[in-house]
Structure 1
Amino acid sequence: MIVCEACGTTANPQDRFCGTCGEYLNWEDDNGAAADPPAAQPETDAPPQAPAVEQPDAPEAVPEAAPPQPEPTPAPAGLACPACGIGNDPSRHFCRSCGTALRQTAPPAKEPWWRRWRRRRKEHAAGYRKKPRRKFHIRRFVLVSLIVSAVLLLIVFLPALPVSTPWLENLRDRIADAEPVSPSAISASSEATGAEFAFDGISNEYWAPDLEGDGVDEWIQADFAEPVRLVYLIVSPGVSRDQEAFLAQARPEEIELRMFTEDGDVETEQVTLADSAEPQTFELGVSDVTAVRLTVLGAYGHEPGKAVAIGELEYFIRG
């Protein structure tokens, strides 16, 4: 018996190819056994031999021819090889004589055109990954267009809408441009330096109350010619933006803003300032304001003889 070296299947001696995997079986019979090389003779210290007497040449022996490879005998019944016609056992997959595949599957029949046209999804081999394809959705396009149009209309016509609610007014404050407003009248509780210096646009001129006190409860007030929508306030504390001059005098630490409205109400807000010479911004968002009174509630670095100074006050209204 012969065993296939490729798959280990047992085959008959007359088979040339494996019936399971189609591997060729009789490599050694075709190529012949390799002759063993002559063994090397060990060297010995033997005495010299006398020269051999030449003998007459003997006739060369004729090598015997290798026995012919046995041809596979046809099987009385079974699968006939489509290539050589040799019969094979029905259990074989490849011809025992030439190795040709015995069972050849016919190609699948082509589907009619109307089935291919109606098929919606295309079948792919295992492991195939379809690339994502972006589809145009008319509903999504219309929805996005409506949202964009509504936002644009809101931005254009929002300032002119008669509706007034807190969230709508705050939205208008962020959309519209803010512009500074100058007070029509200025007053203060006391003056070591004039109250008008807090609105002159120059940071090294300032308002300071009477030096005899500690500055607490001193106030400065700005009145407007007509009701305004206050958006934010910028405060520049101290006597100057120069750091050495800034620290030489007292600075407001906490202030109270009292905003008087056209209908007689008062909006109050307390603000804590940082001890810095840089301008500081505070959002307000109060409508119909006619006057604002700023009162000092506490101070940084106060000592006798030092003024609690405010360099500049800037009120901004919605344009």
Structure 2
Amino acid sequence: MSPGATGPSAPARPLDLPSAAPPTRPEPAIAGAGGSVQPAAQRPQQAQAARPTVQRRPPTRRLEPGDLICPDCGEGNPPTRKFCSRCGASVAEAEVVKARWWQKLRPRKGPKKREAGARPSARKTRKSFPAKIMGVLLGGVGKVVGVLFLIGGIVYGLVPNIRSSVNEEFNSIKSKITNIVSPTYTEIHPADITANSGTKQHGASLAVDGKKNTFWLSYPTTEPILTVTFSSKIDLSRIIVYNGATGDLSPGVPASFVGFARPGVLHLVFPETNKSSDVKLQDDPDQHTYSVSKGSGITRVEIHLPLASLNQPANSQGKKRLIAVTEIEFFKKD
């Protein structure tokens, strides 16, 4: 029909809808020779950029005890972090910075840090009535002591007499402490020497003459006793002994250490105090220092040479030999 003709209109055409056919799927695997399955063909994908590698570097902050060291970059992180502040890596298994021994001795600064959810109970934080009383008393005492120290310092600086008295007392206490920690000793020279035994050429006075080439010889028939008297009361604290014989037996004839008996023990008797003490000697001619007990407040000491403690010469063949002592020196504690 022509465009100008009139008549019944043509029926409407249905709308064009998309095809409802199922989407295409990748082709199934194709069985190859021998029954092996070959993968299906796939469309090439876009290449992904390579993940940048993290280089381990020194931390940018000072490490403190408890910090977490990142295992990837080495950055130090506070204990509260879960991820590294520099590279973003997890710090769940990071190394924890440990405190050095001297850091553990320092007092903590600031309030005590507690973890989230940890709160002290009221029973632990509440102080008892006696504790409150002690806190008030000690707090007041501390203030009073501080004020007294301040006043004492001012007086010490302004009053010369008080300053000199304090210095003398301080030096006296310091000297006593020094003598206890590292004592010093002064030699005491006897005023008189007697003995119940001794030869004509080697009498008892040679045992305290201060010489190391002379010696005292006593007979072994009775226990030799050397009595030493001092000019004033002393506190005998130490003796030095040169055991045996040294020097010359007679002019031109040297003495032999092993040729005479030597005392093994000195039995010291203090008649004024009715006390005594024993000193065990070394059996050689060298200088040896021995401590003396119970020798305080004396002016006289008796030195016994017990016959039972003698060290006899090896060639004595059972015979008792003369007993030799080279030198005994006496000391008091300063």
TM-score (norm 1): 0.49
TM-score (norm 2): 0.47
Between structures 1 and 2, the one with greater helix share: 2
Larger Rg: 1
